[in-house]
Chains A and B, each alone.
Chain A
Amino acid sequence: MKHFDAVIVGSGASGGAVAYTLCRAGYRVAVLEKGRLIRREEFSKDELAYCRRDIVTPCLFDEYHLIEEKVGEKWVATPTYESGWSFWNGNIVGGSSNLMSGMLHRMHPDDFRLKSKYGEIEGANVVDWPISYEELEPYYTMAEEVVGISGLAQKHPFAPWRSTPDFPQPPTKENEVVKLFDKSCRALGITPLVTPRAVLSKEKGHRNACYYSNFCGSYGCSSGAKGSSTEALLFPALATGKLTLMSHTYVKSLESTKEQVTSVVVIDTVTGKESRITADIFVLAAQAHESVRLLLNSKNRHHPNGLSNSSGELGKNLLFSAGGSGQGELHRESLKGIGFEALMERGLFVNRSILDWYYIDHWWDGRFKGGSVEFMFEHQNIISRACKNNEEGGKLIWGKALGERVAKRFKESKSIRFEIFNDWLPNDDCFVTVDEAYRDKYGMPVGKLRIAGHPHDLKVGNYLAKKCEAVLEEMGAKNIYSSVSSLPPQNLIAGGCRFGDDPKSSVLNKDCRSHDIPNLYVADASFMPTGGSVAYTWTIYANAFRVADHIVRDLSET
C-alpha cells in the first residue's frame, strides 16, 4: 500500500492549489484524478469533440446524477442519462479549470457578512462567513500571481479593496467593440470595468501568452495562457518531484475509524483493479456536489450518516450561481462609431463587466443585494451558431432560405452577450443526497441533487437583465432578448459542506477541516455558506491556497 503525507481527490482548481502549496513545502502528495491527462499540445479546437459530445466528461449512461425538480406539487427525480442535462464539467487532469472562460472576480467584503449587512430573507438560510475578506485577501492576491490573472485595478464603489496596486499582468487585448460599449455605458451613467481574466497577456515561465484563439471557454488552451490547474499549479508541483499525479484513478470512498480517515478506496479505470491508498491527511477537491457524494458514500459504523455529518448538515445548502443571460445582434448596416471589419476581428476579448448594481439603493426600486454582469461575444462555435434560430412560425427553415439566413448571420452581424451573476440564496430545497438504487458503473450510488432557487433570485436576475438590455439597446443592438430562470448553471456549483464555527450547524471549521475528523479537509467550493454575486473560481483558488497553508501547519506539527 502506498503512503503519502497527503492525498488529494480531484485535480481541478482546488486540488491543484492544495497540491502546489504542499509540494512546494516539501510534502509527498498524491493527486487522484478519475479522468485522463490531455497535454497542452494535444488540445485542439474540435467543436464536435469538446462541445457536442461527452468526451472530456463521462458518458451519462456510465456516470450520471439524479436531478430532482418540483413538478406541480411533487418532486420528480430524473437521471441525467434521461434528460441529457449533464452535471459534469470537465473530468480530465486539471478538471473544469481547463475549460473555463477565465472571467474572474473577487467577492465583495460584504459578501462575507451577508446576514449582518443585509438581514434575513424569509425562506433563505443566509449566514455570515466565519472568516472575513481581510483573511482571504492575501490569497486572492496569491492567486493573481500564481494562476496568472490579468486585469486593471480601477476605482469603483463595489470593487473589493486590494493589497497590491495593480494586477501582475495588463489586460488581454480587446476588440474595438469596447469603444462602443464604454461610450454606451457612460451615456447611461454606468461605469464599465475591465474584467480580470485568468488568461496571460504576457508569457510567464513555461506558459506562453494568449494567442487569441477565438475559442476559449469549453476548450483546452494550447498556449498555456489560461490559468488552468494543470498549467499554473500541477506542472510546477510536479517539478518539485514531490507530486504523484494519478490519472484514471476513480475514488470510490474513504475508509475511517471514529477519529481519522485511514485510506481511500480507488479503482484503476483502465484495468478495473481496486486498491487502497493511505496518507496522513485527506483532502477532497472533487467539485462541490461530488465531494459531498464521496462523504455520504463513505458512511460506516462510526459515522453512520456519512463522514463529517454529525451535524446532519452534509449536502445541505447547495448553491449555484443565480441569474441568467441575454444577447443582442450588432448589424453591419446599423453599426455605430466603429468599423464593421474591426468588430469582426477574430479572437479579441470584450473583457467588460459592470459592478454598478452589486447593491441597489434606489428611491423607487428599493434596497437589495444585486449582482455583477459580464459582457462578451456570443460563443464563436460555428456549428452551434449555424443551428440557432432556424425556425419560423414553428416550422424549420431549409433549402435555399436556410443557406441565406445562416450566411447572413455569420457575415453581416456579430452578437454580444451578457451573463448575470447574483446570489443563489441557500434554501431547504437545494441539497445533495445519494440514492442507493441508482449507481454508476463502478457500483457507487450517484449524487441526487434536489434543485430549487429562491423566488428572490429571480426578482434580482430580472432587474439586472433589464439594465443590461438597456446597455445593448444603447449600443444599437437588434433582436435583444434575455432569459432569467431558476434553472442552475451546472458549471458553477458550491455549498454542501458549509464551514462555520459551530460543529452543530456546519460541516467544516473555518480552516475547511472536518469538525468530526481532524485529518479530513474539503478544499473545493463546497465550504461556501453563501456564494456572493460573482463567478466562483477566483474564490475557489484563493480559499484552496488558504486551506493548504493550514494543512502545511498541521503536517509540520505531526
Chain B
Amino acid sequence: MTRRDFLATSAAAGLSVSLHAQEADAETKTLEAALPLIAAVQQHMFPEAGSLPSAKAMDAVTFLKETITHGSYDRDIRRFVIEGAQELDRRTKGKFLTMNHAKKEAALRSYEESRYGSNWLTRIMTLTMEAIFSDPIYGSNIGQKGWKSVGSSGGVPRPKERYIAL
C-alpha cells in the first residue's frame, strides 16, 4: 500500500502530514492505550497451535511498539496504525478485547469490508510478520522460532545492533 492509497481512504479523523512536538507526547499516550487491542488483533491473526509461533509467544506487540516509534519508521504510517486501532475500538464499542473468537472474527471481517479497515489489517499483519521473521535482535522471533517454523534461517553475519546502529 502506498501512502497515497491510505491517505485517500483514511477515516474521518484524517492524517496530518506534520506532527507538532506537543502532539508527539499525546501520540505516545494514545499508542499505549491502543496496544492491548492491537495485541489482540495480532493474536487473532497469529494464534497458538498454528504452523507459525503465536504473536503472543513472540511478543509481537512490543516489537510493533518499538518499531513504529523508531526514527526509521514512517511517521504517517505510525499515526495510521494508532488511528486504525482507535477506529476498530469505536466500531466494536470498546468490547473487542472481551469478545469470543467468533465475534472477533466477525468484527475484523466487517472492518475489512472498508478499504481503510482492510489497509489497516494488512499493516498490522505486515508488522507482525516483520516481528516473527526479523532477526531476534529486534526482540521478537524469540529463539529463532519464527525462522525455524518455516525451515529457514537468516543470513550470516547476523546484525549485532538494531538498524545498523542508526
Indicate if A437 sits at the interface (CB-CB under 8 A).
no
- Residue A338, interface by CB 8 Å: no
User: Which one of B7, B51, B157 contacts A406 once the chains associate, using CB atoms below 8 Å?
Assistant: B51
Which residues does chain B contribute within 8 Å of A387, judged by CB atoms?
125-126, 129
Contact B51 A213 (CB under 8 A): no
How far is B130's CA from A382's CA once the two chains are assembled, in angstroms? 9
- Taking CB atoms and an 8 Å cut-off, the chain A residues in 221-277 that contact chain B are 222
Q: Are A396 and B162 in contact (CB under 8 A)?
A: no
B109: A residues at CB distance < 8 A: 395
B12 at interface by CB-CB < 8 Å: no
Nearest residue (CB) in B for A344 is: B151
Q: Is B46 an interface residue (CB 8 A)?
A: yes
Contact A53 B112 (CB under 8 A): no
With A214-B155, A395-B109 known as contacts, the answer to whether A403 contacts B46 (CB < 8 A) is: yes
B158 near A44: Cβ-Cβ < 8 Å: yes
Binds A, one of B25-33, B90-98, B133-141: B133-141
| Contact A396 B133, CB 8 Å, known A44-B157, A382-B154 | no
Task: Mark the stretch among A14-22, A76-84, A293-301 that contacts chain B.
Answer: A76-84
With A42-B164, A214-B155, A396-B112 in contact, do A386 and B72 touch (Cβ < 8 Å)? Answer: no
- Report yes or no: A47 in contact with B134, Cβ–Cβ below 8 A: yes
B60 to chain A, nearest CB (A): 13
CB distance from B19 to the nearest CB of A (A): 11
Instruction: State the CA gap A398–B42 with chains docked (Å).
Output: 10
A554 CA to B152 CA in the complex, in Å? 55
Q: Is the CB of A48 within 8 A of B138?
A: yes
Per the 8 Å Cβ criterion, residues 26-62 of A in contact with B are 38, 42-50, 52-56, 59, 61
From A45, A82, A386, A399, name the one whose CB has the most chain B CB atoms within 10 angstroms: A386
Q: Is the CB of B150 within 8 A of A390?
A: no
CB contact under 8 A between A213 and B155, given known A52-B130, A53-B163, A78-B4: yes
Chain A residue at minimal CB-CB distance from B63? A48
Residues of B within 8 A of A49 (CB): 72, 159, 162-164
Let me know if B51 and A219 touch, CB within 8 A: no
Question: Is the beta-carbon distance between B160 and A44 smaller than 8 angstroms?
Answer: yes
Q: Are B157 and A411 in contact (CB under 8 A)?
A: no
Q: Mark A377-417 against chain B: 1 for CB-CB distance below 8 A, else 0.
A: 00010110011001000011011101110110111000000
Asked if B158 and A45 sit within 8 Å, CB to CB, the answer is yes
Residue from B50, B52, B75, B133 in contact with A383 in the complex, judged by beta carbons closer than 8 Å: B133
Cβ of A180 to closest chain B Cβ, rounded Å = 22
